[in-house]
Structure 1
Amino acid sequence: MNKIEIKPIKDLKPLAEDLKRIYLDAYQEDYIYAYRDPGRVKRYLKWLIKHADGGFFVAFVDGKPAGFIVIQPDCRFHGEVVPEIHELVVDPAYQGRGLGKLLMQKALVFLKEKGFKKVALWVGEKNEDARCFYEKLGFKVTDRQGAWLRMEKELEAETYDQMSSKESSTRKASTTSTSSMISSGV
């Protein structure tokens, strides 16, 4: 990979088609957890940006969108406000190169700067690669609902530098298949 930039976006329109393509390509083998209809994916992306409150980040490689992460800061779980990562999507052409980890780092720094102490996500129970990826980043399984596992991570105990120094290689991981993508599956 060459030049990587991770930027927050507030307007979906200029990137909607690229992000829809990345989502569909990353989920090409998934018929359980992902939306397959392009129109539904576009509506889902609109829903994500509406609820992200500044937590929608796109990774650009040499100026081209290559992945994204979306956080909803105001999620409630059992009465507690805990931000949730709804999507972590990497274009299959860029998977296995650490881009997912860079996106996750950006999201965690964003949440720490906003004063949050914890973050959560949901992962498909059969997606061992994604669960392993998240566990390496310090997430722990805290709940189960149907085919989904809730994973949480405490933010106060770790800094960006500590996370960067952890295992640097990332494998292709997905909530759905080992060859598609990483996603919280919301």
Structure 2
Amino acid sequence: MTITIKRCILEDLIPLQQISIETYKETFEAYNTVENMHLYLNDAYNSEKLTAELINTDSEFYFIYDHHQLAGYLKINTGKAQTETISKSSLEIERIYVRSAFKRHGLGHHLIAKAIQLAKEKRKATIWLGVWEHNESAKLFYYKMGFTQTGSHSFFMGKDEQTDYILTKKIT
């Protein structure tokens, strides 16, 4: 297995947008209406929003490659970029997206390890993320990686209010 992780830059906007839409649809399209998917995808992954996220100094994106093929990515947030105020000493994993063809290849472990490395470099005590309450495979993965549920928050899929569990992990 040849795995590489590379920080995304503004010039990566188009492939970032493409993989974001592709992986999100693969994961959630079957559970949501066409209208809500359309509203969410157009809001979350439009060029202007992704550009702002890529240039935000409190956010970082990392592509993961498996044998030189773009397989997924990680997005982390610190400071004011975090979607919730958990603590000043926390780092948020906002997205771990892996293309379906590359799932079950251990890439999620690599991306969690990268997030932990970044948290340590930034002197953060915890990492946290939100996961949809009905995404059983993702919840199981995060629990195996040492995360525990510490709360929940609302997540809007278009007009549909859904619940994400907040999972946290202490960095040792």
TM-score by length of 1: 0.71
Deviation for aligned residue 1:69: 0.2
CA contact under 8 A between 1:4 and 1:60: conserved in structure 2?
Answer: yes
CA contact under 8 A between 1:83 and 1:118: conserved in structure 2?
Answer: yes
Return the structure number with greater helix share.
2
CA contact under 8 A between 2:21 and 2:45: conserved in structure 1?
Answer: no
| Residue equivalent to 1:144 | 152
| Residue equivalent to 2:7 | 8
CA contact under 8 A between 1:52 and 1:72: conserved in structure 2?
Answer: no
Determine which of 20, 24, 27 is the counterpart of 1:23: 20
CA contact under 8 A between 1:55 and 1:72: conserved in structure 2?
Answer: yes
When the two structures are aligned, how many residues end up with a matched partner?
153
Deviation for aligned residue 1:152: 0.5
Structure 1 segment 31-180 matched on structure 2, within 5 A: 31=29, 32=32, 35-37=40-42, 40-51=45-56, 53=58, 55-74=60-79, 75=82, 77=85, 80-146=88-154, 147-156=163-172
CA contact under 8 A between 1:6 and 1:58: conserved in structure 2?
Answer: yes
| Pair 1:79–1:111, CA change in 2 (3 A) | closer
> Gapped runs of 5+ residues in structure 1?
157-186
Higher relative contact order (CA 8 A, sep 6+): 1
Return the structure number with greater strand share.
2
Percent identity, please: 27
Code of the aligned partner of 1:70: K
CA contact under 8 A between 1:55 and 1:110: conserved in structure 2?
Answer: no
CA contact under 8 A between 1:71 and 1:83: conserved in structure 2?
Answer: yes
User: For 1:81 and 1:111, how far apart are their aligned partners in 2?
Assistant: 9
CA contact under 8 A between 1:123 and 1:150: conserved in structure 2?
Answer: yes
User: For 1:125 and 1:36, how far apart are their aligned partners in 2?
Assistant: 20
User: For 2:44 and 2:165, how far apart are their aligned partners in 1?
Assistant: 27
| Pair 1:54–1:79, CA change in 2 (3 A) | closer
User: For 2:22 and 2:13, how far apart are their aligned partners in 1?
Assistant: 14
Deviation for aligned residue 1:136: 0.6
1:18-57 per-position Cα deviation (integer Å, ceiling 9, x unaligned) = 2222222212242559633398443443243233646321
TM-score by length of 2: 0.76
CA contact under 8 A between 2:89 and 2:124: conserved in structure 1?
Answer: no
